[in-house]
């Protein structure tokens, strides 16, 4: 699985990504508002993630596309984006993403997310994408709104970040294919 955009290659994780995974995610500014990412983040955690996703890539039908984001200019892994919990009967999936701090605010996740949304609607034929962000996560809530997801409500104390042990409220959003195409 490979999606190419002007600046990025979105592709399966590989063994060679392990060092860059650790370098980019072993940072509380990245993992503070993620549910499942430990801090500190060790090489063994990165190895587990790469091997886990190599297993997911072999499953048919595939339910989870957790992919790496490679910067074309350096060929380095700088982040990740996922389309997960794919429910083909309902026609929906859940999107999530993270980016190394050095690459923030350059429109990179907008570029990656638009490509994944296009893949979800036009290749997988889904009709809805779910996304959620901790209420305190200003960058992600901003990005989600800029992608034209609709806010659908807030759940209280529904997540606990593995990195900090803190409980969080989360905003829930949805994007329908018919609204995205407008
Ligand atoms: C959330 C995250 C992926 C954003 O990636 P990014 O590449 O920096 O985002 P973009 O540059 O594409 O920004 C797109 C829009 O999002 C909003 N946004 C991004 N960062 C923001 C910030 N720090 N403050 C306010 N709005 C922000 C803005 O609307 C921005 O558009 P603009 O730059 O034209 O104003 C990045 O901050 C990150 O990886 N954070 C840590 C991991 C994480 O929280 N993941 C999401 C879990 S739900």
110 CA closest ligand 1 atom index: 12
Give 15-62 pLDDT, tens digit per residue.
Answer: 999 999 999 999 999 999 999 999 999 999 999 999 999 999 999 999
Cis (ω within 30 of 0) for the bond into 61?
yes
- Kindly state which CATH superfamily the domain 2-180 is placed in: Gcn5-related N-acetyltransferase (GNAT) (3.40.630.30)
Q: Which residue has the higher pLDDT, 182 or 9?
A: 9
pLDDT of 182? 66
Q: What is the pTM of this model?
A: 0.98
Tens digit of each residue's pLDDT (9 = 90 or more) over 126-144? 999 999 999 999 999 999 9
- How many residues in total does the chain contain? 182
Whether the CA torsion 62, 68, 69, 73 is positive or negative: it is negative
Residues 98 and 118: their CA atoms lie apart, in Å, by 18
What pLDDT does residue 126 have? Answer: 98
Q: Are strands 128-134 and 92-99 parallel, antiparallel or unpaired?
A: parallel
Distance between CA atoms of residues 140 and 97, nearest Å: 9
Residue percentage of the chain with pLDDT more than 90: 98
> Whose CA is closest to atom 19 on ligand 1?
139
Q: Which residue has the tokens 């990504």?
A: 17
The alpha-helical segments, DSSP class H, found in the chain are: 18-25, 28-31, 43-58, 108-118, 138-146, 177-180
Q: Which 8-state DSSP code applies to residue 135?
A: T
User: pLDDT for 104-129, tens place per residue?
Assistant: 999 999 999 999 999 999 999 999 99
30 CA closest ligand 1 atom index: 41
Which H or E run includes 128? strand 128-134
* Ligand 1 proximity of 34 Cβ (cutoff 6 Å): yes
Q: How confident is the model at residue 181 (pLDDT cuts 50, 70, 90)?
A: confident
- Nearest atom, ligand 1, residue 143 CA: 16
What ranges do the domains of the chain cover? Answer: 2-180
171 CA from centroid of ligand 1 (Å): 15
Distance of alpha carbon 98 from alpha carbon 153, whole angstroms: 22
Percent of the chain with pLDDT over 70: 99
Mean pLDDT for the chain overall: 98
């Amino acid at each position: 699985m490979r999606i190419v955009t002007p600046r990025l290659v979105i592709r399966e994780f590989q063994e060679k990504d392990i060092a860059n995974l650790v370098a980019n995610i072993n940072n509380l500014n990245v993992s503070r508002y993620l549910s499942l990412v430990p801090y500190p983040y060790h090489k063994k955690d990165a190895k587990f993630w790469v091997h886990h996703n190599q297993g997911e890539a072999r499953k048919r039908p595939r339910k989870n596309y957790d992919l790496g984001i490679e910067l074309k200019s350096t060929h380095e892994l700088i982040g990740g984006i996922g389309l997960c919990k794919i429910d083909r009967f309902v026609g929906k999936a859940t999107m999530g993403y993270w980016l190394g701090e050095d690459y923030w605010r350059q429109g990179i996740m907008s570029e990656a997310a638009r490509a994944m949304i296009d893949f979800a609607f036009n290749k997988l034929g889904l009709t809805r994408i779910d996304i959620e962000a901790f209420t305190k996560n200003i960058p992600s809530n901003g990005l989600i709104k800029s992608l034209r997801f609709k806010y659908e409500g807030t759940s209280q104390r529904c997540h606990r970040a593995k990195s900090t042990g803190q409980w969080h409220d989360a905003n829930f959003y949805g994007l329908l294919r018919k609204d995205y195409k407008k």
